[in-house]
Structure 1
Amino acid sequence: MVLFVALSVFGLARAQNTDTPSGLERANRILNTWVSRKDTNTSLIVDEDDRWSVRTTAASLYPAMVLMAWLTNLGLYDGLLAETLKDERRLTTRLSVFPDDYHTKNASFSRSSRNEEEILINASAYANGLALVATHTGHGRWTDRLRGIVDALFLQASVETEYAEGPLPSSNLRVTGRIMKTLPLLADLFTDEGYLYYARRIADAYCVGVMPKNGGLPAERWDFEDDSAHASSLILEDSGVAFLEGLVELYAVEVRDGTARSAIYRPMLSAMFDVLLQHGLKDNGRFYRRLQPDSRGGYSIDRKRESPHTIRILLTTHRYGRLSGNETYVNAAQSALERYRPANNSEHITAFSSLLSAVTLAPPLKSLVEVVPNRPRNNVTDAEMLRALIAHHLHLTAGVRAHPWRPDLRLLSETDGKRLRVDLRTSEPWEGYLYLPLVGGRIKPFEIDPVERYRITSSLTRGRAAWDGGLLNSGLRARFNQALTLRIESIASGPVEAP
């Protein structure tokens, strides 16, 4: 329901979306522009100052480029961008496995001295970007890099607290917030309970220790030795919102497994969302950027600035409402979505870009090709545009990919969660592979389970074939002249026929 509301709010039904090729083509041009700006001596992607910046290029632009290549150019995905990862590890690692900003022209770090807190903040931002890749692509070299960073963060963790069974990697939410979001994902991808153990360390420290003393909110910085706030505000930028998302995803695991922690976390999660909805949400359906408890039961609000991640917060609120069985949060999220309107094209792109890192992928706001401007490129704005266009495309295709990609290839998919319809159109004959969304990572509208069987019907042959889900993992070969429609549905049992 919340997805339908978001769709109707932004005035675009799936059937009206005819800009998939041009949208993806525009995104592909952005990708190629940045590939051409590769450093001449390495495979690092550099900004206008010949710098590989961890917080912007590595954490934002580079993951978006990887996802774009995953959609349109597997040679680039497995080639240059894979080499970029190797060079990033070889050249920019400064503390343990954590990277620092690197100046390619000088072949040296941008800063002469090492700032450990800044390196940890940047490393967590990079981990968050790598998690974006992992949620869509699953296992691979980028997931391994993510795992290495997270493992190292907890290996060097030294922030002791009486509320958690083990030290935290930092007392700064700019680190723990982003890392919190990666942990349920890693636990799912690697079937490793250890990452849930790490997530519970953070959740216990904040739900039992910090939030009851901080007006129901996680603090930007907390002194666990003195058990008091160094900076009590919750800032609804990426790290703060990632903490909310990660906490709700951990709560989803506890509810699924029926653990005692679900009952422990629920009161503080409810208190947190109550504060956000009552004090942080504006009449126009947007959230203020900063909320600060005033120690008297009230909150000081920065009313001049709004959070760029309102959609993510509302989707997380809705998800918590469904998990907890409390329709108050579901209704509040839907009501706010009905009121929300992007103020301008720039805000439209920022809002849409944020959807790619949301726990669930929401429908598009409107035709992004209409609002993505031809403007001077930099690593920040182009990362946002890439993320926005990718989110748009993934919604229209339900996560289905076609390789080789061509600008004339039009791909649209529809699903009710049980059945998937894939429509392909081209101006010239096409032959290649269709890759269907697989189990794991982010929540998908339809996904192929390797242990199930699927019936596939083709518009070309009118025939049906049953496929094992494990076989579909390696792609479905297709060939057609101008049009092809496939219908895919799960079947409970039956022999696997030759495709």
Structure 2
Amino acid sequence: MDGWLAHADPESGLIPRNLTASVDFWNGRDSGADNYPFMVLTAALTDRPLMDGRLLHILRTETRLTCRVDRLPDDYSFSKKGWRREKLDLDAIVFEGAEYVKDGLLTVTEWLGPSPWSGRMVGIVEDLWKHAPVDTPFGKLPTLNFEVDGDLLQACSRLYWFTGDRKYLDWAIRLGDYYLLGDHHPTRDLKDLRLSDHGCEVINGLSELYVAVSFAAPEKQQAYREPLHALFDRILEIGRNEDGLLYTSFQPQTGVHAAGLCDTWGYNFDGFYTLYLLDKTETYRDAVQKALSNLKGKYVGAAWADRSADGFADSIEGALNLYNREPVESAADWIDSQTRLMWGMQQSDGVIEGWHGDGNVARTTLMYVLWKTQGVHVEPWRPDVRVGAVRDGAVVLLSLTADEPWAGRLVFDRPRHKLYMHLPLDYPRINQFPEWFTTEADRRYAIRDLVANTDQTLTGKALQDGIAIALKPATELRWRLTP
């Protein structure tokens, strides 16, 4: 975060797309989608004044400078102090806005709930559909770009629950009808299906829509069930290797597949596991378990077609999200080892590789450390303050230490999928922050201090608000917490 903020444009305060050829502009699909939002989330956990100050100012500046078609963003050139593209390209602007929403603003909203960032997200999505130019038998669509349609499937499916407004579900259904009920089915009609980044979004997006219609439009669930299962069954038939990991792409009609493996295998399997949760198709759960079970000792280092730090980040994120549902022990070891390798790619100034994918390393790091704390964090954060937690069934064992005197709050997680997003179930989804140990506000929790041998009982709300703690140097707080 600090490394990239040092490279911000001195006049606008916006960060560049990368630190080489694209150092002169901010864009929605990269700066906004993959880097800036994870600065916001890093600050949310480590430096709230920075989040509420400089990083919120970036949002307001970006909104003021980049909106070109109503609230839709276009690339902003620092040197020109205006548009990077002189001619308006609506399809490019749709791409910028959809990526900014799905990979960036939606992820921030999953953690923060309603905020200025969620307001920006809602505005972009509304105007994407307001200006939808593409006529189809199912209604107008913003674009026929496969990746962007996947972005919109995910965003609109979640926004339906987040806002309670039916229009978002109706928009997502247009896309679902186009890909499942028309002549653009991903495996029956398309020549090539990409499972790596820029293709996996539709796989996951259709599963998110399936969740929504299962609860809100059961007639659509019935219509979608067979074509969606057909899509997933074909992927399992010819889209994976002997260990259950997925190829970057394949040709559904011929069975020919690419040689390389995709780092986004977990993103695709999020969709499979979602269908398992809804339809109880054990084959889809088995596929997830097989992939997780075969990681350790075989897929070490840069094992994917994308050999960058981003390849590490996406594969680790995918594994974490699925491990949260299926705790395969060997997968935990693999996640630990791969994360250490990913961290080893960071430079001394904090920058990873100097492109927007650096933000995804920050994203996955936050997901990883929240696993290691079971969702607990401290406020204020300080580098010498160390917190860790593990589950033993329903019991949580927690440790807190500091090198110097520290006073602050120990904050426990809450069921964010329910309280913030209003989702009907916590299905696996791209760029979510998995929930490990969550507290219910009206439930009571017994806390045993294993050092002082004392007991107390606190409500979930008190744990969510944060418990005041004062630590002396070289001492340890050790709690056993039982619902």
User: 1:349, 1:388 within 8 Å by CA — same for their partners in 2?
Assistant: no
Deviations 1:210-244 (A, max 9, x none): 455x5347x5xxxxxxxxxxxx4322233432222
Deviations 1:283-340 (A, max 9, x none): 34332222334xxx43443x24432201222343233223221111211222133234
SS at match of 2:336: coil
Shift in alpha-carbon separation, 1:156–1:53, aligned structure 2, 3 A: closer
User: 2:106, 2:121 within 8 Å by CA — same for their partners in 1?
Assistant: yes
Structure 2 counterpart of 1:176: 149
Q: Letter of the 2:367 partner, please give it.
A: A
TM-score (structure 1 length as normaliser): 0.79
1:68 paired to 2:23 = no
Q: CA deviation at 1:44?
A: 0.7
Structure 1 counterpart of 2:477: 484
Structure 1 counterpart of 2:2: 32
For 1:50 and 1:189, the matched residues in 2 are separated by 35
1:398 paired to 2:391 = no
Shift in alpha-carbon separation, 1:185–1:416, aligned structure 2, 3 A: farther
Structure 2 counterpart of 1:496: none
For 1:257 and 1:359, the matched residues in 2 are separated by 29
For 1:169 and 1:387, the matched residues in 2 are separated by 28
For 2:233 and 2:443, the matched residues in 1 are separated by 44
Q: How does 1:336-415 map to 2 (within 5 A)?
A: 336-340=291-295, 341-345=298-302, 346=307, 350-354=311-315, 356=317, 360=321, 362=323, 365-367=335-337, 368-372=339-343, 373-375=345-347, 377-415=353-391
SS at match of 2:68: strand
For 2:71 and 2:32, the matched residues in 1 are separated by 14
For 1:298 and 1:94, the matched residues in 2 are separated by 43
Structure 2 counterpart of 1:44: 14
Structure 2 counterpart of 1:54: 28
User: 1:216, 1:275 within 8 Å by CA — same for their partners in 2?
Assistant: no
Q: Bigger CA drift: 51-60 or 455-464?
A: 455-464
Deviations 1:355-390 (A, max 9, x none): 547894645612423442244641234223222322
Q: Bigger CA drift: 100-109 or 113-122?
A: 100-109
Q: Letter of the 1:122 partner, please give it.
A: E
Q: Letter of the 2:477 partner, please give it.
A: L
1:273 paired to 2:228 = no
For 1:149 and 1:417, the matched residues in 2 are separated by 43
Q: Letter of the 1:95 partner, please give it.
A: V
Q: Letter of the 2:144 partner, please give it.
A: S
For 1:273 and 1:421, the matched residues in 2 are separated by 39
User: 2:266, 2:322 within 8 Å by CA — same for their partners in 1?
Assistant: no
Q: Letter of the 1:444 partner, please give it.
A: E
User: 1:42, 1:87 within 8 Å by CA — same for their partners in 2?
Assistant: yes
Q: CA deviation at 1:347?
A: 5.8
For 1:312 and 1:35, the matched residues in 2 are separated by 29
Aligned counterpart for 2:79 among listed residues 98, 105, 113? 105
User: 2:28, 2:74 within 8 Å by CA — same for their partners in 1?
Assistant: yes
Aligned counterpart for 2:187 among listed residues 192, 195, 215? 215
Deviations 1:443-483 (A, max 9, x none): 52332344x323251515723233253x5544333223332
Q: Letter of the 2:445 partner, please give it.
A: R
User: 2:408, 2:469 within 8 Å by CA — same for their partners in 1?
Assistant: yes
1:118 paired to 2:108 = no
Shift in alpha-carbon separation, 1:355–1:249, aligned structure 2, 3 A: farther
User: 1:454, 1:467 within 8 Å by CA — same for their partners in 2?
Assistant: yes
Aligned counterpart for 1:334 among listed residues 266, 285, 289? 289
User: 1:312, 1:355 within 8 Å by CA — same for their partners in 2?
Assistant: no
For 2:312 and 2:94, the matched residues in 1 are separated by 27
Shift in alpha-carbon separation, 1:358–1:207, aligned structure 2, 3 A: farther
User: 1:417, 1:446 within 8 Å by CA — same for their partners in 2?
Assistant: no
Q: CA deviation at 1:256?
A: 4.7
Q: Bigger CA drift: 454-463 or 117-126?
A: 454-463
1:138 paired to 2:110 = no
User: 1:173, 1:240 within 8 Å by CA — same for their partners in 2?
Assistant: yes
Q: Letter of the 1:466 partner, please give it.
A: L
User: 2:29, 2:98 within 8 Å by CA — same for their partners in 1?
Assistant: no
Q: Letter of the 2:113 partner, please give it.
A: G
Q: Letter of the 1:319 partner, please give it.
A: T
Q: Bigger CA drift: 169-178 or 84-93?
A: 169-178
1:465 paired to 2:457 = yes
Q: Letter of the 1:462 partner, please give it.
A: T
Q: Bigger CA drift: 153-162 or 78-87?
A: 153-162
For 1:394 and 1:458, the matched residues in 2 are separated by 22
User: 2:270, 2:322 within 8 Å by CA — same for their partners in 1?
Assistant: no
Q: Bigger CA drift: 38-47 or 367-376?
A: 367-376
Number of residues of Structure 1 aligned to a counterpart in Structure 2:
438
Q: Bigger CA drift: 409-418 or 324-333?
A: 409-418
SS at match of 1:423: strand
SS at match of 2:375: coil
Identity %: 27
Q: Letter of the 1:298 partner, please give it.
A: T
For 1:417 and 1:204, the matched residues in 2 are separated by 43
For 1:141 and 1:36, the matched residues in 2 are separated by 24
Q: Bigger CA drift: 459-468 or 393-402?
A: 459-468
User: 2:157, 2:209 within 8 Å by CA — same for their partners in 1?
Assistant: yes
For 2:63 and 2:151, the matched residues in 1 are separated by 20
SS at match of 1:82: helix
Q: CA deviation at 1:80?
A: 0.7
RMSD over aligned CA atoms reads 2.8
